Amino acid sequence: MRLPPRVWKILRSRRTKIALACSPFALLALALLAYPITAWLGRRSVDRFLESIQEKGYVTNADIHFSSSGSPAENFFLHPAMLAEESGSLVQALQSLEPRPRGLSRRPDKGESALARKADIRTWLKPSPSDESEAASRLLTAIKPSRQRLDELRDALKLPHAAWPIEGPLGNGAEAIQIIVRSQYRLRPVAEFAADEAYLHLALGNSDRAAANVEAMLDCHRLYLSSKPTLVALILSEVLSGKISDMIWEGIVRSSWTDAQLASFDSVLGRINHQAAAISAFRGEAALLEIWAENVRALERHHQGVNFTEGWEADQKIIRGRLLGI
């Protein structure tokens, strides 16, 4: 298709050539002008976002919300035994231990069907011993250093709080969020090892030792919820609650627990305030959002129409579900 002569004349004109030569510079000027406008709009959207969560009363200052409170002597993470565990981890689920106990076949947390025993220790080793007590004895011998470390941690688990100490302002938002969330995972290996060891003691008929480990799990459950939890701690505590129920059921099926031990478990569970923890977790999530939004604003990684709650909707939905019963 041939262009009309008039079009050719326009394309060959001096004005067209000048316009084409200047167009890259014009586009660059528009881009330079658009960036500060977009950055300003982004900062305004962050400000409105922070104002909205503060107006709801969820958090007024994330630094204050997550700052260390209480005596260091009452903090699980500052107990000498926990500091030793941090420097050389010995307390892990059996499958996670390095080196793994010889012959361990799988992670020993798979339950059987309802109304049945939750564990058969013989299946934890390959080849499987004919006697469950033999398997339990072999594993207890293999994990002796870890058992000793858990014994050292029992007093620490009785402390009121488990808040990873944060010195001064939170500073780098991404790093602060990582510290806060990771600290809430640090109780998990302690609880999992206590559960594994409790199963081994139940297989040997040592209910007193197994009950002590259930108490350690209950202490971990309490610490999850007692120290400014976020959604992470709330979910971890629910998972642990299921493991505690499985462990208590295992002892019931094996006729291991005494009435006094069952009463003790029930008493501890009755003192855990899940409703207060749910509210605290909601505030904790708002504080994390505030840190994150401040970090985004500082880095100026924003654009017009940004959704500052993107990726958090599922978390918020779960938290709202927790609050429905309050």
pLDDT band at 84 (very low <50, low <70, confident <90, very high): very high
Q: Is the pLDDT of residue 31 over 80?
A: no
Angle at 108 between CA 106 and CA 112, to 5 degrees: 110
Angle at which helix 231-253 crosses helix 259-271, to 10 degrees, equals 170
Q: Is the pLDDT of residue 160 over 70?
A: yes
Q: Which of 103-112, 192-201, 220-229, 252-261 has the lowest mean pLDDT?
A: 103-112
Amino acid 201: pLDDT: 95
Upper half-sphere CA count for residue 271 (Cβ side, 13 Å): 11
pLDDT, tens only, 137-150: 999 999 999 999 99
- Phi-psi sector, 171: left (phi>0), alpha (psi -120 to 50), beta: left
Q: Is the pLDDT of residue 276 over 50?
A: yes
Amino acid 290: pLDDT: 77
Q: Encoding tokens for residue 142?
A: 């293999």
Q: State the Cα–Cα distance between residues 324 and 315, nearest whole angstrom.
A: 15
The whole-model pTM stands at 0.74
Q: What percent of the chain has pLDDT over 70?
A: 67
Amino acid 306: pLDDT: 46
